[in-house]
Structure 1
Amino acid sequence: MSTPTEIQLRPLTDDVYVAPQLPPEAMAEVARAGFRSVINNRPDFEGGPDQPTSSAIEAAAHAAGLEYRHLPVAPGYQSPEEAAAFARLLQELPKPLLAFCRTGMRSTKLFVMAQQAPQA
């Protein structure tokens, strides 16, 4: 997989990566890098009115041929239910997959929690 030049990616596995906030314009580059899916873990307007909305990112992701899911979670606490929802997305979405939030830490924590959750 080629790494997008302007996007800070951190691999969690061979086919799951995390990144800080991505704008809609980054979706084409994410697709060119070989990703097939994107998960946005950031609630709309968490960072104020200048933060891109999920709908804008989703439209750009679909235009780039990517699967897109919005699983907004608060920065300070990720619940077992949110981790289970993230685990389901990891199972159903095509990989390689890129999850993002403000810094990448929330998505990383969700991934770790999802790995520890009992599989249904």
Structure 2
Amino acid sequence: MDIRRITDRYSVSPQIRPEDVPDLAEAGYTRVICNRPDSEVTGDETSAAIEAACAEAGLSFHVIPVGHAGMTADLIAQQREAIDTSDGPVLAYCRSGTRSCHVWALGRAGEMDPDEIIAAGARGGYDLTPMRETLGAIAQTRRD
């Protein structure tokens, strides 16, 4: 698994498999978020397969698919709530981890300075610099 830590409580990764879930539990994660639509995967990579493995390992599981139609305000709010209500560290995954990082970043706009968000993404290996203007606009909207 290629787990990339974004903050102390939030990490992202490319697609996981059911056999990865016990290692996530052992590493201290308490919640897994699937940001990958089932239409992109088959077999044991479906959200149902991962959810069953999470239940067996004692991890909570949320499906918040971010497809090619993009991220909506509702998806961003769902992701933020799933992170904020977790009892401990969260791992979110998609095909590469990028969507999971981006939806987190958009959810933190207005709470964190855009430069802090961009730096957190960079620590995980994601370039969020092109999002700077959007993060600033969202932050301004949330302040108004």
Which structure is larger by alpha-carbon Rg, 1 or 2?
2
Q: CA RMSD in A?
A: 1.7
Matched, 1:82 2:75: yes
Moved more, 98-107 or 79-88: 79-88
Measure how far apart 1:81 and its partner are: 1.7
Query: 2:86 aligns to what?
Result: 93
Q: How many residues align?
A: 112
Question: In the aligned structure 1, how far is the partner of 2:47 from the partner of 2:105?
Answer: 23
Show the 5 A alignment for 1:37-76: 37-47=31-41, 49-50=42-43, 52-75=45-68
Q: TM-score, normalised by structure 2?
A: 0.72
**Pairing partner for 1:12 from 6, 13, 23:** 6
The gaps in structure 1 that reach 5 residues or longer are 1-6
- The amino acid that maps onto 1:77 is G
TM-score, length-scaled by structure 1: 0.85
Q: Distance in 2 between matches of 1:61 and 1:82?
A: 21
Q: Provide the C-alpha distance between the structure 2 equivalents of 1:99 and 1:116, rounded to a whole number of angstroms.
A: 18
- Greater fraction helix: 2
Deviations 1:84-115 (A, max 9, x none): 11111111122211000000000000000000
User: Take 1:88 and 1:15, find their aligned partners in 2: how far apart are those partners?
Assistant: 13
Task: Point out which structure has higher relative CO (alpha carbons under 8 A, 6+ apart).
Answer: 1
